[in-house]
A and B are shown apart, each in its own frame.
Chain A
Amino acid sequence: MRGKATAYLQTALANPTADFRPGQWECIEGILKSERQLVVQKTGWGKSMVYFLGTRLLRDQGKGLTLLVSPLLSLMRNQIMAANRIGILAETINSSNTDDWEVIEARLLADKVDILLISPERLANDDFRERVLQKVANRVGLFVVDEAHCISDWGHDFRPDYRRIVRVLQALPKNIPILATTATANDRVVEDVAYQLGALNVVRGSLIRETLALQNIWLPNPPARMAWLAEHLKNLPGSGIIYTLTVRDSERVTEWLKANGYNVAAYHAKIDSEAEEQGSEKEKHRREHLEHRLLKNEVKALVATVALGMGFDKPDLGFVVHFQRPGSVVHYYQQVGRAGRAVDYAYGILMGGEEDKAITDFFIKNAFPPQAHVDKILGALNAADGGLSVPMMQKQLNLSYGDIQKCLKLLAVETPSPVAKIMSAWHATPVNYQMDHEKIRGLCELRQAEQAQMIDYMKTKDCLMGYLGRALDDKTVKECGKCVNCLRHDLMPTTVNTDLANRAAIFLKRSYQPIEPRKRWPTTDIFDYYPLKGAAIGTDIMAEQGKALSLLGDAGWGHMVREDKYNVGKFRDALADGCMQMLETWQPQPQPIWLTCIPSLTHPDLVPDFARRLAARIGIPFVSCLKKIRQNEEQKHMHNSFQQAKNLDGVFDVDQASMPSGSVLLVDDMVDSRWTFTVATALLRQAGCPAVFPLALALNSPRTD
């Protein structure tokens, strides 16, 4: 059989002298013996060749197709070619090719497909299972799970869908071989996966990547790191990835580098949802498009969050730079390991700063929903007769859409789960559910220990690749001879151009935030008091695009806004100067000829006082024609759109008699959900105001990745 397999290998690689890498044939043999295997090998070792050949030999025996569960969007071009040479046809079913499902399904049922690639999300989706998968799964000869470290709760990468996948694997009968593969797993994760899957053969290889040269650079403040990037990015070879910890940083670093003449683009989880919100069909797969541009070297770098991760494979990536320190060695290894797969030399530069710890702590703290959210949601579902949709829950519960989704996702993957999604509604199941606080505490402690190890890695004088290898329990580690510690001299300069750093600081201070107008009410006819009907916010009552001076709490203006609002009780003149500068670059048209502000009953003077001074500087009248006629709950305690908009019902009134004509600047100190601006604008517009430009001192948006 080995001879036959070798012949297939040579055909697949179009290389008549090719032979197996150590361990490959043993894995294929295991597949043929219907074994369960976990393969830990770095990317590029040839895991795909193992399941290609395994599939070929099983198909020769008359077995069914191979089901490959992987976050990959599709197989790589060279992989598909190799598979085709030995007569293996692969198809992909994922959310981006729904139009092709019917054709693929027919081919599957006609047994014309040898490998079916589906994403973990698809496998965990009940609807998809019923419509497509169940029929196909009647003939599966081999089950392959990629990125198998996600199976372990103790892995660095908590992916809820894998919790359902592992239970599918447990329920597989022994006549179907299982191949689980990963490029990163320490002993603890390997043990956990083996424990969960039972009787598992583990195949481990070296994780060291010889072509990668590593260096760590400590630059505490963000402007210094931005200056470093602006100065040195051009000297890094080829194209690469710059990782940031937050979406906001990804956006800002992108803007900064663009301003410095670089061809870069931001990449994060929000890109697709933003495009979707704007309803533009061609923008829907923007992330895929961005990946494609990087693959083709059309950009110097993508400035990405962790969202650019599994499934992205560019063999000739020249560098990976970290703008901030990742939360764990495994994260770091996985990200930096994307560089240098098929080039002789690539850079891995890790920069660290003062904000890293706060950000990572925030992520650790918010990884699990609090008990109160779980209780609220389960309470509502238990009281409901026919189940509840997420919008219905938003109406009943003062929880944000994101919090509800996070909670449901976590609950749904528990087995047995206290919730079940049937069609589009969520139901309570007959399961008694208790949150496992002990386990959550254990995981948080583990995450903190991982962060401590990463901080230690920043400081180590040992071989950096060696350090990573040891941390990943790779028994084959030796000194790399390439990193900054092995060479005892810098690979890249660690100094920063002061002029550039100053410019970066000013850039950060001036990062005005757009305030996009809301276009739809949370539901149809949401208000009882206001004469605002329907679901759409018509252009006749809509705001113009507004601007916020800063991000709350950020270095620069954001810091002053917070200090003045919460500690001083009066906004300083410097903020009015800042607004003047902003208006100069902004130039709202038609030019506002008067100014008003959002009234408050709790702080009746704070904002009007500032608005009056700002109006005087601009040289237009301040008119307080917007009145607050009813005290309501503070907006910041409202956690979703429905609650936020509803909380404003009947709160404001416009004194039409005193209202001047012409376009207006509408001032408030902080903007968050935008509903206050939206409602006040609608009332002003109904009273006859031709254009309303919202202006806020700070944008307060929660930090997410």
Chain B
Amino acid sequence: MTTEQITENAKAILLLCGRFGAVDDTGAQPLNIKEYDELAAWLLSKKWWPADLLSEENQGVLSDAFAPVEPARMKALLARGASMAIAIEKWFNKGLWVLCRSDEAYPQRLKQHLKRLAPPILYGAGDRSLLSKGGLAVVGSRNINGEAESFARAVGRSAAQAGMQLISGAARGVDETAMHGAFEEGGAVIGVMADSLLRAAVSRKYREGIRSGQLTLISPCNPEACFNVGNAMGRNKYIYALAEYAVVVSSDCETGGTWAGAAEELRREGGRPVFVRAGSSVPKGNTELLRKGAKPLSADALTAGLKDALNAAIASRAEALAVPSKEESVVADEPPPIAVTPATYPEPFVEAGASRMAVSEAPVVLPSSVYEAVKPLILNALDKPRKLDELVKTLKVRKTQLQDWAKLLMKEGIIEEQTVRKAKKFSIRKPDEELKLK
């Protein structure tokens, strides 16, 4: 991919949603997925493409009373062209590529699985055709014991032997161990990163694999983004989306990204089948996920016949579902599956021949609780350590309500409270090992 091949539509989407440079700009905040999606719907109602926002004669329409984004913010975002061009040139120079939802080559799996929550921009390095090949997702925590480690390695090896590519978060622990297993057997691997894609792509451990076509790294975040808990947790859904099956090697219970991602996937209608490492010494999260509907996977199944074993387990599970069991009632207490109406989300803007489809019945994606719904908003507001009063102001919420949510976030280990110059401030907690890397 070269810089000439970026379409004007893709440029417009990048201008609206992208972040350029490691230093965050002090100007307007780029659109998040939901905001972009609202804008896309509005554009569609005017029979416009994103690139139409760049035309001189259309500038007046930005002030349309029905425009979902403040005109001043939109103008400021769209004026960032030079900054974007400089960033794109840098990314491409280092061997990265960019795909926007309007690009034909954007992976269909993400759109089909995530519908309107598919990221507007995807950054990557390596062979893009891997993104449409499905495979086996492997997730699990960063800190693992010997048993989990050999299991993770065996999952990687057997996936490669069974001809399935591996999809993981490319983090330390389970992810990397499984990736190595797959590499050893010559299998293909996709790593979904939440930060530092640019750095990872030039690292010794990855660059050879990328060069040979065995490894593709992608990220929905700015390639120069630093570690951020929200991004790290958010990427789990992309790992599931790119796969056909998923294996959880080790999960904490009721906390952490692995748990949240797996639980979300189990609730999702049409979610990927989730398998969990079974055995006598697995962490509590593993057994709890089984109770929520995941299927057990024992080390014995980790052979070249892994794919058949997974398919067989899915088939027998389907039969078992016909008879309600005691366990099912537990599942029933959980929030209902995420309701999504159309089977595939019709992308309004796809170039190269694809017809422009109308979003007739806008799909509604409901969070599982009000707390889950506001979580991203709170994290988003914590671009730097902030006092409770500041947050109350920006988020327009009662102080006591915000205190309750903040307590939950601290309990989950996502944020922390610090005293900065005698003032108590909340900030997003960075895991210790990430701090050491800086």
A interface list, Cβ under 8 A from B: 33-34, 63-64, 67, 109, 123, 126, 129-130, 133-135, 137-141, 143, 164, 167-176, 196, 198, 382, 384-385, 387, 412-417, 420, 422, 427-432
Q: Which of A139, A167, A171, A413 has the most CB of B within 10 A?
A: A171
Contact A130 B54 (CB under 8 A): no
Q: Sorted from nearest, which 10 A-B pairs have the closest CB atoms?
A: A430-B210, A134-B21, A140-B82, A137-B83, A171-B85, A137-B82, A171-B88, A416-B95, A430-B207, A170-B3
Quote the shortest CB–CB distance from A151 to chain B (angstroms). Answer: 13
Quote the shortest CB–CB distance from A84 to chain B (angstroms). Answer: 24
Q: Given that A138-B83, A171-B11 are known contacts, is A164 also in contact with B93, CB under 8 Å in the complex?
A: yes
Quote the shortest CB–CB distance from A166 to chain B (angstroms). Answer: 8
Q: Which of A63, A64, A174, A430 contacts B54 (CB 8 A)?
A: A174
Query: B19-51 interface mask toward A, CB cutoff 8 Å, 1 = contact, 0 = none?
Result: 011110111000000000000000000000001
Contact B27 A138 (CB under 8 A): yes
Contact B86 A137 (CB under 8 A): yes
A687–B327 CA distance with the chains assembled, in angstroms? 92
Quote the shortest CB–CB distance from A329 to chain B (angstroms). Answer: 30
B260 within 8 A of A: no
Q: Given that A130-B21, A137-B80 are known contacts, is A420 also in contact with B11, CB under 8 Å in the complex?
A: no
A198–B96 CA distance with the chains assembled, in angstroms? 23
Contact B95 A167 (CB under 8 A): no
Q: Which of A123, A172, A198, A417 contacts B95 (CB 8 A)?
A: A417
Q: Given that A171-B11, A417-B95 are known contacts, is A429 also in contact with B207, CB under 8 Å in the complex?
A: yes
Interface set, chain B 255-296, CB cutoff 8 A to A:
none
Contact A64 B92 (CB under 8 A): no
Quote the shortest CB–CB distance from A83 to chain B (angstroms). Answer: 20
A206–B271 CA distance with the chains assembled, in angstroms? 68
**Chain A contact residues: over half helix, strand or loop, or mixed?**
mixed
| A-side contacts of B22, CB under 8 Å | 130
Q: Given that A33-B56, A174-B51 are known contacts, is A430 also in contact with B211, CB under 8 Å in the complex?
A: yes
B206 within 8 A of A: yes
Contact A175 B202 (CB under 8 A): no
Interface size on B (CB < 8 Å)? 51
| A-side contacts of B8, CB under 8 Å | 173-174
CB-CB nearest in chain B for A163: B93
Q: Given that A173-B11, A431-B95 are known contacts, is A384 also in contact with B204, CB under 8 Å in the complex?
A: yes
Q: Which of B12, B95, B126 contacts A173 (CB 8 A)?
A: B12
| B-side contacts of A198, CB under 8 Å | 4
Contact A429 B86 (CB under 8 A): no
A133–B83 CA distance with the chains assembled, in angstroms? 8
| A-side contacts of B96, CB under 8 Å | 416
A135–B3 CA distance with the chains assembled, in angstroms? 21
Contact B82 A176 (CB under 8 A): yes
Contact A171 B83 (CB under 8 A): no
B147 within 8 A of A: no
Contacts beyond the supplied A173-B84, A176-B82, A415-B93: 13 A-B pairs with Cβ under 8 Å: A34-B56, A133-B86, A138-B20, A168-B88, A170-B6, A172-B85, A174-B51, A176-B81, A387-B202, A417-B95, A429-B94, A429-B207, A430-B95
Contact A168 B89 (CB under 8 A): yes
Contact B89 A415 (CB under 8 A): yes
| A-side contacts of B54, CB under 8 Å | 173-175
Contact B93 A167 (CB under 8 A): yes
Cβ-Cβ contact count across A and B, 8 Å cutoff: 156
Q: Given that A170-B3, A430-B125, A432-B211 are known contacts, is A138 also in contact with B80, CB under 8 Å in the complex?
A: yes
Identify 20 residue pairs between A and B in the complex whose beta-carbon atoms are under 8 Å apart, listed by A's number. A33-B56, A130-B22, A134-B86, A137-B83, A137-B86, A138-B80, A138-B82, A140-B82, A141-B79, A164-B89, A164-B93, A167-B92, A169-B85, A175-B54, A176-B81, A417-B93, A417-B95, A429-B202, A429-B207, A430-B209
B90 within 8 A of A: yes
Contact B86 A430 (CB under 8 A): no
A421–B82 CA distance with the chains assembled, in angstroms? 22
B418 within 8 A of A: no
| B-side contacts of A173, CB under 8 Å | 8, 11-12, 15, 54, 78, 81, 84-85
B199 within 8 A of A: yes
B201 within 8 A of A: yes
Contact B202 A129 (CB under 8 A): no
Interface set, chain B 185-218, CB cutoff 8 A to A:
199, 201-204, 206-211
A167–B89 CA distance with the chains assembled, in angstroms? 6
B341 within 8 A of A: no
| A-side contacts of B79, CB under 8 Å | 63-64, 138-141, 175
Quote the shortest CB–CB distance from A413 to chain B (angstroms). Answer: 8
Q: Given that A164-B93, A427-B202, A429-B201 are known contacts, is A172 also in contact with B56, CB under 8 Å in the complex?
A: no
CB-CB nearest in chain A for B210: A430
| A-side contacts of B2, CB under 8 Å | 167, 170, 415
Quote the shortest CB–CB distance from A60 to chain B (angstroms). Answer: 15
Q: Which of A139, A168, A174, A422 contacts B86 (CB 8 A)?
A: A168
Contact A140 B126 (CB under 8 A): no
Quote the shortest CB–CB distance from A693 to chain B (angstroms). Answer: 50
Q: Given that A167-B3, A168-B86, A173-B81 are known contacts, is A416 also in contact with B23, CB under 8 Å in the complex?
A: no
Query: B116-127 interface mask toward A, CB cutoff 8 Å, 1 = contact, 0 = none?
Result: 000000000110
Q: Which of B27, B81, B94, B210 contacts A417 (CB 8 A)?
A: B94
| B-side contacts of A141, CB under 8 Å | 79
B179 within 8 A of A: no
| A-side contacts of B78, CB under 8 Å | 173, 175
| A-side contacts of B85, CB under 8 Å | 137, 168-173
Contact B6 A171 (CB under 8 A): yes
B55 within 8 A of A: yes
| A-side contacts of B25, CB under 8 Å | 134-135, 138
Interface set, chain B 69-119, CB cutoff 8 A to A:
76, 78-90, 92-96
| B-side contacts of A169, CB under 8 Å | 85
A171–B88 CA distance with the chains assembled, in angstroms? 7
A430–B217 CA distance with the chains assembled, in angstroms? 11
CB-CB nearest in chain A for B4: A170
